[in-house]
Amino acid sequence: MTDDHLPHLDLELFDRPSADKLASVPTVAHPPRILLLYGSNRERSFSRLLTFEAARLLQAMGAETRIFNPSGLPQVDDAPDSHPKVQELRELVLWSEGQVWCSPERHGAMTGVFKSQIDWIPLSMGAVRPSQGKTLALMQVSGGSQSFNALNQMRVLGRWMRMFTIPNQSSVAKVFLEFDDAGRMKPSAYYDRVVDVMEELVKFTLLLRGQADYLVDRYSERKESAEQLSKRVNQSSI
C-alpha cells in the first residue's frame, strides 16, 4: 500500500493495533475496585437492597467494593463542585476500575436521583477522564412487569461516559416480592442472573485491567491534540 492510497490519513498519528501492544501490561496487585451506585433515597429502597446484594457477591469474588449513598447530593448546578457529596462521588469514581449502576424505573425512565449522580461526573477533569475505560454493569428494579427502559437509558449513558458496558444485565420485576423482611434477596432466577452479571463484570474488569489507556486511545483525538500543540507552538513563536 502506498502513502497516497489513504491521502487524508495522518500516517504519523495512525496506529496499527496488534496483540503485542495489548500483551505488555504491568501486573496489578490490588483486587478489582468496583463502585456501586443506586437510584433511590427511600427508607426501603429496593435498588439499594439489590446493590448491597451485588456488593456481597463481588466481595465473594475477590473484588473491593464501595457504595455511594446519594442522599444529600444536590442537583447539578444547584451547588458548587466543592460540595462534600460531589467531592466524595468524584473521588470514588477516580478510585474505581469498574462500576455497577442500579436504578428503579420511574415513569418509564431511570430516576432523577440516579441521573443526578452521573451528571455530577464530568467527562474530563483537567487531563483526566474520570469514567473513561472503566467497566460497567447495569441493573434495574421495577414494581410491575419486567422492563428494560432504565437499562437501555443507562447503557446509552455508559457509552456517553466512555465506559465498557458488559453484555449481560439484570432487570428484576415485581421487586417487592424478591426480598425478605431482612432485606436479603430470595433464591430465584433473578438472583442467579445477578450472580451472572457480577461474575461477568469481574472477568471483564480483570481482562481490561491496564489496557484502558490503549483501548480508548483514538486517532481523532491524537490528531486534535497534535493540531492544538502545533497551534500553541506557532502562537508562541509569533
The pTM assigned to this predicted structure is 0.85
**pLDDT at position 165:** 96
Alpha carbons 232 and 4: distance in angstroms, whole number? 29
CATH number for the segment(s) 29-236? 3.40.50.360
All three cell numbers of 167? 453484555
Kindly report the backbone phi and psi dihedral angles of residue 210, in degrees, each rounded to the nearest multiple of 5, phi listed first. 80, -5
**pLDDT at position 29:** 80
**pLDDT at position 237:** 42
Q: Are strands 33-38 and 109-110 parallel, antiparallel or unpaired?
A: unpaired
Cβ contacts of 154 within 8 Å, gap of 6 or more: 101, 103, 110, 114, 138, 140
**pLDDT at position 11:** 82
Alpha carbons 193 and 151: distance in angstroms, whole number? 14
Cβ-contact 104, 46 below 8 angstroms: yes
**pLDDT at position 117:** 95
Given a cut of 50, the residues of the chain with pLDDT beneath it are: 233, 236-238
Distances (CA, A) of 68 to 39, 72, 164: 10, 11, 20
**pLDDT at position 182:** 94
